Structure 1
């Protein structure tokens, strides 16, 4: 498996996730990540209809290729359409120049990767992930039967260094770990300071199988991103329900007693598990990157975790 920096840069926001980011701010965010020691960068065709890949590739151009790792994803092909409207229905503030076509076939996987390399301006990526198979449960078997073997062949040929899945559902991720020889899983939102459903069986299985887990969505889309939890905090990209708001505030109160903050504990918590090799955090500005790096750099008192367990919050 490839070696990844403990903090990874999630490039969905520089694909204009929910709101526009200009080219300069996007480039500055990547530069700040590099200056902070980040050497792992994650993107996907889905993010801004290719904008994220183009911006990430441009920002990394000129840096020593062996000094960083890039992951991208397959499963959605981008097909040109007549321009018109925007892509906000899919979460991205970009013109609708393409449409997404789900395709987990072997040919679709190879075509998707070729297009991604062109947008990135790279001759290779380090990790390729089957993307969001959990959103297309009827295609899970095809993805494992056709898409994954195509990735495994590319790995055997040395075209990519590692392969895996990028999902939100730990149950689907666990199935792929059992049924295929994935190297890595990007798991979003299901092993966080707020909730740990992946801890019972999925993470121990990854340890036994030698599968690296990259924890994404560690702020649960915003609920854990601030020291004080606002009433309008989001969870899984929607308004957080009252019970989770209350739970997050209880966690924040315990953090405060230990002289730390909720986002600081949230970004460090997943890395305590031996299966987790990196925390992947999205950022749209240099300031956000620097804040995330600072959260990771400042040690969290060990007693914090003990108190959270004692109060039934872990």
Structure 2
């Protein structure tokens, strides 16, 4: 189960914030494939199943052994009996003919994975993440994770874990459960590294691999300007100012802020892949180009000296130009 250093996050394929055509969704996946990306992450939550359908259609015909596919459990999609034409209210531009029901039980996990297999049109999923169980810790430990362990032992899944935005809760799961991999969104970035306190050292100790997502902190590290988003809300002025200072240091070393933001998380020994979303094929190309940029060591040293990066943060090793 080798994850490529760069993965494609497929929330946008579910019409995150705005609609896209099926053709654009397919072109995004095709472009990722052409750029060597072989790890694709999705979830039922993304567009009420639309992301899974589009990703599966775009990967159809690709050699199944050549890519790693992850999806998530915890939000079971069920018919919305009260639907009268409304659109989804959780960030996706799709009809709300289905509704999400939080379900971290054994039965909910099995039903969710069976439905995901149908939407994806594949015979197996490589990795199953328990999705956002921060308010359902005991339910996930008693129901979802034991069910996933059974499926892993049966060879149905190759890896199991959890994905969320809360590093301290993920650390609790790593301590208490037999997981292979976790996805941490937004808590290990160029802007902030709280996952270094407990989660990442624990993952190194227990040989749990990490997928770093949300490395732009939902937008502020892509463009630190007034009105930028952080944690999917308007960014506080002090964080915009901090991101702008980081961008100034990057510019002095001939590197853009997004290039440095992609480079940093992958340098940690626990991190197996950095997952980036894309709303167009051009954005996939741009992200892949940014990921290939060599960031000079002096940039990281200046960020540390300026108090903009923790001194204990692993940084990319210098390589031959």
Displacement of 1:230: 2.2
Aligned length: 308
Displacement of 1:84: 2.8
> Mind listing any 5+ residue stretches in structure 2 that lack a counterpart?
310-321
Query: Helix, strand or coil for the counterpart of 1:178?
Result: helix
Match of 1:197 among 194, 199, 205: 194
Displacement of 1:85: 3.5
Contact 1:43 1:72 in 2 (8 A): yes
Q: For the residues of structure 2 that align with 1:81 and 1:290, how far apart are their CA atoms?
A: 38
Contact 2:189 2:217 in 1 (8 A): yes
Matches within 5 A, 1:289-304: 289-304=284-299
Q: Which residue in the other structure is 1:125 paired with?
A: 125
Q: Does residue 102 in structure 1 map to residue 98 in structure 2?
A: no
Q: Does residue 247 in structure 1 map to residue 246 in structure 2?
A: no
Displacement of 1:81: 2.1
Q: For the residues of structure 1 that align with 2:63 and 2:302, how far apart are their CA atoms?
A: 44
Query: Helix, strand or coil for the counterpart of 2:173?
Result: helix
Displacement of 1:86: 3.8
Matches within 5 A, 1:82-231: 82=81, 83-134=83-134, 137=135, 139-226=136-223, 229-231=224-226
Deviations 1:242-276 (A, max 9, x none): 00000000000000000000000001110111000
Displacement of 1:232: 1.6
Q: For the residues of structure 2 that align with 1:185 and 1:84, how far apart are their CA atoms?
A: 38
Q: Does residue 233 in structure 1 map to residue 237 in structure 2?
A: no
Give the ranges of 4+ consecutive aligned residues of structure 1 lying more than 3 Å apart after TM superposition: 85-88
Q: Does residue 12 in structure 1 map to residue 11 in structure 2?
A: yes
Q: For the residues of structure 1 that align with 2:132 and 2:237, how far apart are their CA atoms?
A: 28
Contact 2:31 2:285 in 1 (8 A): yes
Q: Which residue in the other structure is 1:309 paired with?
A: 304
Contact 2:69 2:126 in 1 (8 A): yes
Q: Which residue in the other structure is 1:24 paired with?
A: 23
Q: For the residues of structure 1 that align with 2:188 and 2:171, how far apart are their CA atoms?
A: 13
Q: Which residue in the other structure is 2:43 paired with?
A: 44
Deviations 1:141-187 (A, max 9, x none): 11111110000000000001000001110011000100001100010
Q: For the residues of structure 1 that align with 2:85 and 2:221, how far apart are their CA atoms?
A: 33
Query: Helix, strand or coil for the counterpart of 2:163?
Result: strand
Let me know the Cα RMSD of the aligned residues. Answer: 0.9
Q: Which residue in the other structure is 1:284 paired with?
A: 279
Displacement of 1:24: 0.6
Displacement of 1:80: 1.2
Contact 2:88 2:96 in 1 (8 A): no
Query: Helix, strand or coil for the counterpart of 1:94?
Result: coil
* TM-score, normalisation: structure 1: 0.97
